[in-house]
Chain A
Amino acid sequence: MLSEIAIIVIRGVAIGALFSIIAMSFNIVHNATRILNFAQGNIFILGGFAAYFLADNAGLPIWLAMLLLASLVIAVLVAAQGWLTLLPLRGNTSEQDSWMISTVSVSVIIAAILMLLYGPFAYSVSGPVPAFRIFGVKTPGAFILAIAAMLGWYLLLSWFLRRTFTGLAISALSQDFDAARAAGLSVRRLQLLAFGISGVIAGSAGFMVAPIISVSPDAGLRYVLNGFIAAVVGGIGNNTGALIGGPLVGVMAMLMAYKVGGAYQDLASLIVLVVILMFWPQGLFGRATARRV
């Protein structure tokens, strides 16, 4: 019994770590632009595909080199997506219609391309971290990698957003575009940078955890949804909230899978999302950015 609970918690936290990472990649773009990139899940899956084609069964040095390469390429792609998304907005990024349409269509485009190239199959990938045993149950090494990546990105982002000039400038954007512009920041460049960073976060995470996710063209939607739920639970824009929200959602999903079967996981996500939006629309931990008065 105890071991079962332990397994649920470990797996839940690890899966939740992925949601948390996606939530953080949402947050940096949202804070810089007010945009939520609906394609973030497919960008994450793109990382998984990169792992399959570049580093399946590879040794650690190759794996690391390919991780770096894949992250950079994905970062450039996402920055380009950001450029396209911001193109019709001209400074007023509160106009939701436009960016919702463009990010959703990019999401559909990525999935359609993957489907045309690789078919509707799930690819299995093996990573460099060996499996280990917890309470006698074999657990893939990527679980540890997922949790490490979540903590690593959290610390790195906290440092970046509070201690570097560029990071502070991005944080300033989350308060007020006009003030930031007036203070001489080049808003558009910072926003593209934020898109790029979100690409690195989601892409590298997808690459690292490829062994434990379903690397298939239709999996992206599920991750973007759960990432969004983690972001909403933690309060959109709030990375500390995401750090807690992700594992919370992950453990809940695992518990659900254990009690009523894995087939209902998406239904559980939907119900959690609807309930959260109805009762705690600002998230359980509130917003990180100051509310406008």
Chain B
Amino acid sequence: MPPVFSREIERPLISKACLTYQTRTSPCESACPAGNPIQKVHGLVKEKRYEEALEFLRSRNPFPGTTGRICTRPCETDCNRREWDEAINIRGLERAAADTADRTRIKKPMRMERSGKKIAVIGGGPAGLTFAYFSSLFGHEVTVFEAGPTLGGVPRLCVPEYRLPKDILDMEIGLVLETGVKARTNMRIGKEISFEQLRASYDSILIAVGAWKERKLDVPHADKAIKGVEFLRHVNLGFIREIGRKVVILGGGGVAFDCAFTARRLGAQEVHVVCLEGADCMAAPSDDLAQAIQEGIMIHNGCMASRVLEKEGKVGGVEYIEISGFCFDDAGEVRVEAAEGQKKVLAADQVIFASGVKPELDFINGAGIALNPNGTLKIDPVTRATSISGVFAAGDVATGSSIVANAVGQGREAALAMHRFLTGDPKVQELLAIGEDFQIRVEAVSCQGQAHVVSFEEMFNPEYYGKKPRKEGVRSAEISFSEKCAGLDDSAAVEAERCFHCGHCHKCGKCVEDCPGLILVMRERGPEVRYADECWHCGNCRTSCPDSAVSYVFPLYTLV
């Protein structure tokens, strides 16, 4: 009879799907677009088994050092522990695994037998590289075509150095290339080689070009201003080394704040952010808002630029107005509601537009690939295929502008989808797992449907974990390009202990102790039902469980 225990994974699984033995899970894992096995990592970090933690992370995400620094942490927003004291520092623990593990001891999965299939990847950002990493492990021959001079996409070109030291990214890209991925930089499709040529030469293609086409507001003298992503890219590539004293950023998202902080680091004394959003609904991460206060960035909420002011042929400032509201249409274009009130002016030496991006897809003109209204590529949610055979898409080009973790998850799922496509293996219910011998093999442990996401109300025993303050890495107050936030280091194991392990049994044995019929036994893989027909289905295994990892499946004879 009942109960059914939702268990933690024992070996790294590349696919993220509902497992037959893990039918409940946490809000954090459910929310992680990269598919990080968060709770498994916490369990290992708690025991200071950093190398294994990193192996589990890398089975889903080849960029944990990167996402462990720059992710916007949708996991922590949903963390059940938030209802008890404070969310777990999930990103900090990801980074701790990536930074602390002795990489010389990391066991790397072996490539599967060569399939003889050739894949071209257009775009060398996190989606393309993640895809390339897994596709190469699956035995395919992968070539990445990157239009720019460097691999790495947004993390390389748009994320400021103080948030992500580029040697971390270099090392993670190196581990992708090490699997046999070929990369050809400065290869713009449609220029050096045509899309049709590529299709003719490869068995399958992944489009992962990201979204780089920047919007510029339709206001007078907009051409005098510079574009945010371009600005960040030029700073990262070393083309821009200084900026004026006063800088105005137009936009309120993560890019806008990266521009603002970068401007401060280039010497700007006065930086303003003018954005449509009200103070209570900012799109930027809360970390950015806190840092903005620290660094003296002035935010003008609920405002819109009405013109760029010209002074002696250069930028002189911005004229802006207050707005009453705004929304986005299907094409992703902003629609501002009737603006009222006085026009205001900010004098500035430089104005930066950070008003959103969309994909640049001129190179596929004529190929007949279907697009969404907002200009992204239309893909099938299950097969990840575009409207033309053998062409897949992942990352911002398919989802619109998103976070790196999303690109990673998309890249991995696309690799799995394309693997199924190329090998003709129709068994979607099967998973790819990394065995003890580090061979990748198929395991039939996934099930249909979604794992139940455990809510705080379902946690009967949060007091088991006690109240403990969240550990944070030390944040430097210095305004410079050296890394701002330090890792958790020694406090990582303590922080990992705070994890509630929502929906995943962590083998505490409380259920076995508390079963009034003594029908459970503790085994290496956790509690097991030994005398199933002596279960009273009283629910004590669940009310004793600190993880809410117990559910019940009633026998047929009780249902008739």
Is A bound to B? no
